[in-house]
Chain A
Amino acid sequence: MLAIFNLAVPVLLVALIVSGLAATMHKSKKLSFATNNAIFLLLLALGIYYSVYGSSFNVLSLYHIYPFSSFTLVLFPLALLLVNIAAYYVEDSYIKFGIMLPIISVGVLSVGLASSLLTILVAIELMTIPTIILIALNGKQYAEPAAKLFLMAAISVAVFAFSIALAFPYDSSLSLVRAASGSTGTLYFLILSMVLLVASLGTEAALFPFDLWIPDVYQGSPNSISPMLAGINKKVAFIAIIEITFIVFIGQKASLTLIFGALAILTMFFGNLGAMVQTNVKRMLAYSSISQAGYIMVGLAAVSAFGLQAALFQIFAHSFMIIGAFIIAGFLAMEGFMSISDYSGLYKRSRFLAFSLTVIMLSMAGIPGLIGFVGKFLLFSSAISSGLIALAFIGIINSFISIYYYARLISNIYSSRDHKSMHVPREIYFTVLLVVAIVVFFGLYPAPLMALASAASSSIFSII
């Protein structure tokens, strides 16, 4: 019985693929939507179960279930569920989404569960390629973002493979755990491998020099896909970075701090200064999500269990905040509101959307009482506790620079103008409400999520 139960995750992943393939046959919107949601809910329940009981075991020598992967099993199914529900309204023909999303989600979930470098490589490709197809399927005007994403993904995977190849001779293993044993001491090939790895995954994770494609693609993508790109694909890249660097390259602690710290500073400034001058809301959100990637790097630069806990907390927090923000922005873009000045008087159009957007923006800006503040507080505290006082200070300054553009959008929403009210469809209503509930609940009572992140981060450090 127990052994069969341990197979639940791979069984559900196979079920996802079956659901995707079946959708090509039956072409029923409702059926595909329902099966996808049901599987995501089951996975979420499984993730919560594994986290609560702190399960730790190997599955088919392919997947490794331990508190870290349980954390991703809580985060990603919930995020995928939100994206799926919102897409049901936003997409004009949901069925292509219903075919592709299950396959993407197998990739998304496999990254956190993977026990070898090769699995991670394949899983990331499994996630990226269907995403590109999904963008391109929406019509000619989406060829540009699809092509950009394709190019970046192709280069990124090549660099990733090269990085694995460089590290391979030192441990002769693709297993994450065994790879770690060979990677201590000052070996320049190893450091090169590490740098290449960060560069390749940094492309997807929106770290500074590799993030120039982000605003174009996030802005140009279909409204149903930008929440997924920012809230899921980017976070998967972070999960991969964490797994590989903190297991395989943990011997190179000093270089890790240096690389992550420098990337954090550059990314934060690039994102925040870029966001200040934007007029399009989706583009502004794209820049803001770059800056949030910078904050997450502050936690990683601390290279401690506390720092990793902070980073995981912020990954969770930002994933939902940005999904909520992009769902609202996407819905409004469909109604014809694109630029920040279009948003003026949104309060009169829909009090619900105005209030939700306000909460999400304030949370991203780091106003106390909301989840974003707790995340940033943990991140900067972890930097100080590792002695990186200057990094923490730069992070705090950046976090407060960002208030400028969030507050500009908010005060625009509430500027009084008379408009007739707008109908918010129930799919959008439900997803946004769930995001706001998460933001407020874990903002006021962060203890459970902190415990989850703490278990995940200490399991990474004790795996070797």
Chain B
Amino acid sequence: MFPVFFIMLAILGIAGIASALSNSYKQAKDIAIVLSGIVLLLALYSVFLALSVKGFIGSTESMAYISQFGIYLSFSATQFGIILALLASIVSFLASIAVSSKFENSKNLYPLIMLFEFSAIGLFVSANLFIFYVFWDIGVAASYFLISSFGKGENKHAANTFLIYSIFASAVLLFGIMLIYFYTPVHSFDISYITSHSYLIPTALQGTIFILLFIAFMVKMPIFPFHSWMANAYSEAPTQGSMLISGVLSKFGAYGMLLLFSMLTFSYGFAKYAFVLGSVSAFYAAFVVMRHKDLKRIIAYSSMLESGIILVGISSLNAFGTAGAVYLMLAHGLVMALMFAVIGGIEISYGNRNITVLKGIVKDSVGSAYSFLIGTFASTGIPLTAGFIADVLVFIGAINAYGLYGAIPIFSIMLLGFYLYYAINKSFLSTRESSESIARLPRQMAVTYALAILAIFAFGIFPYVIISLFGL
């Protein structure tokens, strides 16, 4: 079997360098689209391998790196990793197709998108915590520059807030990882080794490590007390940046949380508190979203709500809950990519994204309106969309673990649904009075919508592809 992850990362590295060296905006964009398309095909191929070839799941590709610490550049194929790598490659492919208003069309955007995809795929398939941390930080740096160099409005402020939270998260993450390394019996960064030997770490120290990593992942997801970077960052980033940060970067935290709960034995006792935190976060987001009129902020808070639900799924610590959480990460990543692309499209057409000002979108720009509607369906879990399967799995898991309490977070999704349908009613379906001229939607955006919708329905109608990976 050829080393598929190494090849993906190598292609992305080449893509980043090639698009940085290219001469024009168009050339950089073409390079990004073609090479991230190839990576998307490879990601699909790895899913195919996982389904058809026995022994692919659990196989490792590794290369000696720093022998003094036993650090290998090693990537392993896990169910979660493959699915999230697929998500990262889809969203990055969409982001390299999408365009935003003229001012932002700098060619430097594409090296950053490629760098981000590089970090995301590397992180999701990494088999040791050192490499995990390296990719984590590269992803954070790429997102920071996406916001600060290509955003609009208050982007510098948003980028700085993002950076302060992120470096805090990185600091505690690095410290936690170092503690794990020095207190495992044979000093090791290897995730599977740590998983099987973590019970040997003294309990008090496990508690410290758990809290450190939990905080780091909470910041990135984001979960309630550590969320205040999110709304600014999502709304001030360029369209492509919002797609990547909400669709993929927030999954860094979610995936880390998943690893944490599977790695440390200490975490089992903490799961119920995590459940409560996730639910509180979801309800908090559901109520805060009602105060907002800016479409990007509305979607940002809906993304925070889904992160809460993901944590609920992870904290149920059973096969359904975990599978549901991963499925929700996939579905939610795709939905966010679609939603932020649509908002970008609306911004190009109308130059505005305030729901009190926008009116009658369905008349002037049908594609954006219906795409947004489909995105709303998917994020509120309407059947046939990927969100439905995910929510069902998560809540089966939660109810199994916590009884009827496990069903409480469903109401937060309903609250979100109310507000999103209200917003749609107000700005998309209402009739338009003024007849100001409206810019045509670029063709690239229409393609972006179509591909995202295709993916959302594909994973909603054929969930078996993914679910069979979990053996449910």
Which of B32-40, B130-138, B405-413 contacts the other chain? B130-138
Chain A, residue nearest B182 (CB) = A384
Q: Which residues of A contact B133 (CB under 8 A)?
A: 368
In the complex, the chain B residue whose C-beta lies closest to that of A402 is B167
Q: Most chain-A Cβ atoms within 10 A of its Cβ — which of B65, B163, B171? A: B171
* Minimum C-beta distance from B122 to chain A (A): 11
Interface residues of A in 371-410 (CB under 8 A from B): 373, 377, 380-381, 384-385, 389, 392-393, 396-397, 399-401, 403-404, 407, 410
Instruction: Fill in one digit per residue for B144-159: 1 if any A CB lies within 8 Å of its CB, else 0.
Output: 1100110000001001
- Does the CB pair B66–A362 fall under 8 Å? no
Interface centre among A380, A381, A411, by most chain B C-beta atoms within 10 angstroms, is A411
CB distance from A405 to the nearest CB of B (A): 11
Contact present for A380 and B178 (CB under 8 Å): yes
Tell me if A446 counts as interface (CB < 8 A to partner B): yes
Contact check, B163 vs A407: say whether CB atoms are below 8 A apart: yes
Interface size range on A against B: 20 to 34
- From known contacts A368-B137, A368-B138, infer whether A392 and B175 are also in contact, taking CB-CB under 8 Å: yes
Q: A392-B178, A404-B164 are in contact. Are A447 and B170 (CB under 8 A)?
A: no
A384-B178 in contact (CB<8A): yes
Could you tell me if A446 and B171 are in contact, using CB atoms closer than 8 angstroms?
no
Question: Do B145 and A414 have beta carbons less than 8 Å apart?
Answer: yes
Once the chains bind, are B163 and A396 in contact (CB under 8 Å)?
no
The verdict on A136 contacting chain B, using a C-beta distance below 8 Å, is no
Q: B342-370: contact bitstring with A at CB < 8 Å (1 yes, 0 no)? A: 00000000000000000000000000000
- Chain A residues with Cβ below 8 Å from B42 are none
Residues on the B chain within 8 Å of A410, using CB: 145
Per-position contact with B for A399-441: 1 when CB-CB < 8 Å, else 0? 1110110010011001110000000000000000000000000
List residues of chain B with CB within 8 A of the CB of A446. Answer: 66
Do residues B178 and A381 form an inter-chain contact, with CB atoms below 8 A?
A: yes
Interface pair B156/A369, CB less than 8 Å apart: no
A-B contact count (CB 8 A): 69
B141 at the A interface (CB under 8 A): yes
Tell me if B171 and A396 are in contact (CB < 8 A): yes
Q: Which residues from A are CB-within-8-Å of B171?
A: 396-397, 399-400
Contact B167 A400 (CB under 8 A): yes
Report if A223 contacts B (CB, 8 A).
Answer: no
B457 beta carbon closer than 8 Å to chain A:
no
A397 contacts across to B, CB distance below 8 A: 171
A450 to B69, CA, bound (A): 11
B168 an interface residue at 8 Å Cβ cutoff?
Answer: yes
Alpha-carbon separation in the docked complex, A384 to B134 (Å): 19
Measured between C-beta atoms, what is the minimum distance from B224 to chain A in Å?
23
Q: Are B67 and A396 in contact (CB under 8 A)?
A: no
Residues of A within 8 A of B455 (CB): none
Whether B145 pairs with A404 at a CB distance below 8 angstroms is no
Find out whether the CB atom of B178 lies under 8 angstroms from the CB atom of A411: no
A115: CB under 8 A from chain B? no
B168 partner residues in chain A, CB cutoff 8 A: 400
Given A380-B178, A384-B178, are A407 and B144 also a contact pair (CB < 8 Å)? yes
Task: Say yes or no: A384 contacts B163, CB within 8 Å.
Answer: no
* A50-83 with Cβ < 8 A to chain B: none
Do B174 and A369 touch across chains, with their CB atoms under 8 A apart? Answer: no
Does A454 have its Cβ within 8 Å of any Cβ on chain B? yes
Q: State the CA gap A3–B374 with chains docked (Å).
A: 83
Given A381-B181, A403-B163: A450 and B66 interface contact (C-beta under 8 Å):
yes
Interfacial residues, chain B to chain A (CB-CB below 8 A)? 65-69, 106, 108, 133-135, 137-138, 141, 144-145, 148-149, 156, 159-160, 163-164, 167-168, 170-171, 174-175, 178-179, 181-182
Beyond A368-B137, A399-B171, 18 extra complex contacts between A and B, CB < 8 Å: A367-B138, A368-B138, A369-B134, A369-B138, A377-B174, A381-B182, A384-B178, A400-B168, A401-B167, A403-B163, A404-B160, A410-B145, A411-B159, A414-B145, A414-B148, A447-B65, A450-B68, A451-B68
